Structure 1
Amino acid sequence: MSVKSRRSLLLASGALLAVAAVTVPVVVGTASADPGSGNQARIVGGEKASLGDHPYAVFLTDGGGNQFCGAVIVSSTAVATAAHCAKAVAKQDIRVVAGREDKRTDDGQVLGVSKVWISKGYSDPTQGDDVAVLTVRGQLDYRPAKLPGSDDTSVYATGTKATVLGWGRVADGGARSDYLRSVDVPLVSDSECSADYNVYNQKTMVCAGYPEGGKDACQGDSGGPLVVGDTLIGIVSFGDGCGKAGKPGVYTRVSAYTDDIEAQARPRTLFP
């Protein structure tokens, strides 16, 4: 079993960046090439979604305008994403694209990044701490997602239906999506996820998916949001393939990082 992050392969600043293979699931990536198959991924088993319902969903592009990950607005000046996404492209080449449901249009905003914060414990997705906050240059015009309390366990109850959003593949090895897509998946118990992935850490990760598979995030979706209502409970991190039976998607457990995210997302104070 080869476990990878769900970011795709992409060309950035003239260098070919690939997600390192690990002995766990495949991390959902963005719209570039997929690390495992050379293609890109999008939400599997889902449908087109509306930014009217999810205005906080955004995607990241490199210096060439290629989508490589998803992200989520957490304040007027910041987005949260996966650490493996933040490390994939140099800060000066990252662009945050907000308010653009169809990637082929010029809708919304395209903002540069002035600061990148990555959880200090991060080494690779399967070891946890797969979270980052990007401070943008300017102001985001769209409503942020809500953050769970650092001690909030209710939103992580087994069986709770959560929605994952992204512009990645619609099938493992399939073509990328031009549109924002979503799929609803139930949260999986910690004991079940531990049985599925021997690297699972219930303090920093949460799993979601059906036992029979068929609905999941996929390559190109890394860094995107897993929400219950408008509350951000997870960030797409990794998985074993896309939508495989017995292999739910693995997400960063946002409540473990709420305090850090809030501190990094706090709008900057301007002095005369």
Structure 2
Amino acid sequence: MKILVIVALFACATAFRLDDDKIVGGVTAKQNEFPFIVSLRRKSWWLGSTASHFCGGSIIGTNKVLTAAHCTSGTSASDITVAAGQFDKSSDTDDNEQIRTASRKSEHPGYNSQTIDMDFAVLTMSSSFTFNTNVAKITMGGAQPGQMLTVSGWGTLSAGGSSPNNLQRVDVPAITNTECNAAYKGGITDNMLCAGYSAGGKDSCQGDSGGPLVRFDGTIPTLVGVVSWGNGMSYHNCFNNY
């Protein structure tokens, strides 16, 4: 039932960026600016024992992480590790970093891999996070069209480009689903929230899937969405769906 409440509070991104995502047109975040963001990692046969970043997520409880269902679908929970308190994802010596292994995953029962609707999943960690200035949970809420929202992640900086080591952020406005449906020619459900610029240039992109879409009230962050999909990266009239 917790997942259903989350869906009622905010919506997720959608569009075929499922291979990975990035921050396009953003800037490097400040240290501890997003203490709730995590890097999801998994081992690949071509990398041997090295676990690499493949999606983002948000800490919503002492041992709970919210991410996108398309990130976890087809992957065993035990194959996913989560890095919290991280700024430079290439660093193995960050004293602020907390590594946890997922023990269970719960994808939204309404998740549709074809329409990417209800693209939510909750990961349960095998042990709790230790909250401090570098690692913290975030509360959830909603957003209205016209509000400026913030996306953060380690995704690539341009379509086909390289992935940055340091955490990136970009501010984008929430738009109406009517406007978003017109841009995508349909496919936007009531469970989705769109944000972005019609002219492009600022966006989340490959490597940012599952990461947070946040509303800031002063310095207080509220989680309003999960990066899910978008047709291309920052193309004209292509908004991101959250």
TM-score by length of 2: 0.83
Identify the match of residue 221 of structure 1 among 197, 203, 208.
Answer: 208
Aligned residues: CA RMSD: 1.5
In structure 2, how many angstroms separate the alpha carbons of the residues matched to 1:112 and 1:47?
Answer: 30
Residue of structure 2 equivalent to 1:25: 15
State the Cα deviation string for residues 133-190 of structure 1 (Å, max 9, x = none). Answer: 0010111122111111xxxxxx422110000011001111111111110000000111
In structure 2, how many angstroms separate the alpha carbons of the residues matched to 1:188 and 1:138?
Answer: 38
Asked if residue 73 in structure 1 is aligned to residue 37 in structure 2, the reply is: no
Residue of structure 1 equivalent to 2:104: 115
In structure 1, how many angstroms separate the alpha carbons of the residues matched to 2:116 and 2:52?
Answer: 27
CA shift for structure 1 position 109: 1.1
State the Cα deviation string for residues 70-98 of structure 1 (Å, max 9, x = none). Answer: 00000111100000111142211100110
Find the residue that maps to 2:71 and give its secondary structure: helix
Asked if residue 61 in structure 1 is aligned to residue 41 in structure 2, the reply is: yes
Asked if residue 98 in structure 1 is aligned to residue 84 in structure 2, the reply is: yes
State the one-letter code of the partner of 2:113.
D
State the Cα deviation string for residues 233-261 of structure 1 (Å, max 9, x = none). Answer: 0100000111111111111xxxxxxxxxx
Identify the match of residue 124 of structure 1 among 104, 113, 126.
Answer: 113
Find the residue that maps to 2:23 and give its secondary structure: coil
Q: How many residues align?
A: 211
Give the alignment of 1:1-272 within 5 angstroms: 25-27=15-17, 35=19, 41-63=21-43, 64-106=50-92, 107=94, 108-124=97-113, 126-141=115-130, 142-148=135-141, 155-197=142-184, 198-201=186-189, 203-229=190-216, 230-251=221-242
TM-score by length of 1: 0.74
State the one-letter code of the partner of 1:172.
A
State the Cα deviation string for residues 42-70 of structure 1 (Å, max 9, x = none). Answer: 20000111341210011100033111100
Q: 1:52 to 1:200 in 2, by over 3 A?
A: same
Structure (1 or 2) with the greater strand fraction: 2
In structure 1, how many angstroms separate the alpha carbons of the residues matched to 2:37 and 2:30?
Answer: 10
The farther-off stretch of 92-101 and 82-91 is: 82-91
Gaps of 5+ in 2: 1-13, 44-49
In structure 2, how many angstroms separate the alpha carbons of the residues matched to 1:125 and 1:161?
Answer: 29
CA shift for structure 1 position 123: 2.2
In structure 1, how many angstroms separate the alpha carbons of the residues matched to 2:165 and 2:124?
Answer: 25
State the Cα deviation string for residues 174-215 of structure 1 (Å, max 9, x = none). Answer: 1111111000000011110111221100x2100000111100
Q: 1:84 to 1:125 in 2, by over 3 A?
A: farther
The 4+ residue runs of structure 1 with deviation greater than 4 A are none
- Relative contact order (alpha carbons < 8 A, sep ≥ 6): 1 or 2 greater? 2
Find the residue that maps to 2:205 and give its secondary structure: coil
- Note if contact 2:78-2:104 (Cα within 8 Å) is conserved in structure 1: no
User: Percent of aligned pairs with the same residue?
Assistant: 38
Gaps of 5+ in 1: 1-23, 30-34, 149-154, 252-272
